[in-house]
Amino acid sequence: MTRTDNSKLAFVASESEEAASASESLCARYGCVSTAEADVIVALGGDGFMLQTLRENMSAGKPIYGMNRGTVGFLMNEYNEDGLVERIAAADAAKIRPLSMEARTTDGRTVTALAINEVSLFRQSYQAAKLSITVDGHPRMEELICDGILVATPAGSTAYNLSAQGPILPLQARLLALTPVSPFRPRRWHGALLPHTAEVRFDVREIRKRPVNAVADNIEVKSVVSVTVKESPRARVTVLFDASHSWDDRILLEQFRY
């Protein structure tokens, strides 16, 4: 869609007092409509709330412009009430392609979920996880002993993936990051970069002795037997970033932090 100065805005806010106050002030200044009527959705909060807003509006086809009223705001623009309509009209649009997770559990359930940032597997107990990894139907690692492993999108590469020493990916990179968490064996394996079309399957070995949970962003599935992860073929969401501080600029700055 083409954004204009006449775009109808919907303001959604996290539960914090700061975010709620900002929403009330902006709504009074610029007018507001429901998310169903809006041309652009303005999310007020931190990155966690932004992820929630992206998931809730995945199929709406509406761009989302975030302003930081939380503690972490890598996905957010700087909060400023002045010139909001003009900033939105001039913003750069970036399409985010979420991951699709299909997890099978020990009790026979199959759970599906979408993840904007990453799909992660974590050991459930004091015992390290023991996993095998298959990519596009080809076995790539017969045995990985670790605290966990994750598949991250470019949007999620600066989140938990970065904390686990994974690579930072530009938003438009057609890649996924496969990153282990505290690998014990093979100890020197640091993960892999995969094409965005890759389908990754994790099978849990010694399930009873070494139970594993799977997490798609904040959706947790306990006691999984296997987890398949791939880029969703249909789901897309558009995020707006101020032209003065684009996602690419943020990625570049992050890579030179020390």
CATH number at residue 123: 2.60.200.30
- Residue 118 maps to a domain: yes
- Residue 2 maps to a domain: no
- Specify whether 152 is located in the same domain as 216: yes
State the Cα torsion 103-202-197-233 to the nearest 10°.
Answer: 0
* Statement: residue 2 has pLDDT above 50: no
Q: Is 119 within 8 Å of 216 (Cβ atoms)? A: yes
Tell me the residue range of the domain where 18 lies: 9-97+236-255
- Specify whether 107 is located in the same domain as 163: yes
- Residue 54 maps to a domain: yes
Please state whether beta strands 118-123 and 138-152 pair in parallel, antiparallel, or not at all (unpaired).
antiparallel
* Statement: residue 3 has pLDDT above 70: no
> Does the predicted model carry a pTM greater than 0.95?
no
Task: Phi first, then psi: give them for residue 163, nearest 5 degrees.
Answer: -65, -30
- Residue 63 maps to a domain: yes
Q: Which residues are annotated as a binding site?
A: 47-48, 117-118, 147, 155, 158-163
- Specify whether 147 is located in the same domain as 37: no
Three-class secondary structure of residue 214 per DSSP? strand
5, 39, 47, 92: the active-site residue = 47
Report the length, in residues, of the chain. Answer: 258
Q: Is 92 within 8 Å of 246 (Cβ atoms)? A: yes
- Residue 1 maps to a domain: no
- Specify whether 91 is located in the same domain as 109: no
- Specify whether 47 is located in the same domain as 153: no
132-154 per-position pLDDT tens digit = 999 999 999 999 999 999 999 99
Instruction: State what percent of residues in the chain have pLDDT above 70.
Output: 98
**Number of domains observed in the structure of the chain:** 2
For residues 163 and 181, what is the distance between their CA atoms, to the nearest angstrom? 9
pLDDT given at position 7: 85
Mean pLDDT of 231-245: 90
Mean pLDDT of 171-199: 95
Three-class secondary structure of residue 189 per DSSP? coil
- Residue 60 maps to a domain: yes
Identity (one letter) of the amino acid at 190? H
- Specify whether 186 is located in the same domain as 128: yes
- Residue 3 maps to a domain: no
pLDDT given at position 250: 74
Instruction: Name the token pair of 118.
Output: 């990453």
Average pLDDT, the chain: 92
- Specify whether 211 is located in the same domain as 130: yes
pLDDT given at position 219: 92
pLDDT given at position 4: 52
Mean pLDDT of 10-28: 96
For residues 81 and 73, what is the distance between their CA atoms, to the nearest angstrom? 17
Please state whether beta strands 237-241 and 118-123 pair in parallel, antiparallel, or not at all (unpaired).
unpaired
- Specify whether 93 is located in the same domain as 150: no
Least confident of 63-67, 138-142, 159-163: 159-163
pLDDT given at position 1: 42
For residues 96 and 168, what is the distance between their CA atoms, to the nearest angstrom? 15
Instruction: State what percent of residues in the chain have pLDDT above 90.
Output: 79
196-226 per-position pLDDT tens digit = 999 999 999 999 999 999 999 989 999 999 9
* Statement: residue 14 has pLDDT above 50: yes
Q: Bigger pLDDT: 191 or 170?
A: 191
State the Cα torsion 21-26-28-32 to the nearest 10°.
Answer: -110
Q: Which residues are annotated as a binding site for NAD(+)?
A: 47-48, 117-118, 147, 155, 158-163
Q: Is 54 within 8 Å of 23 (Cβ atoms)? A: no
pLDDT given at position 58: 87
- Specify whether 166 is located in the same domain as 251: no
- Specify whether 14 is located in the same domain as 76: yes
- Specify whether 50 is located in the same domain as 125: no
- Residue 4 maps to a domain: no
47 is catalytic: yes
- Specify whether 55 is located in the same domain as 133: no
Residue with tokens 């931190």: 46
Question: What CATH number corresponds to the domain at position 38?
Answer: 3.40.50.10330
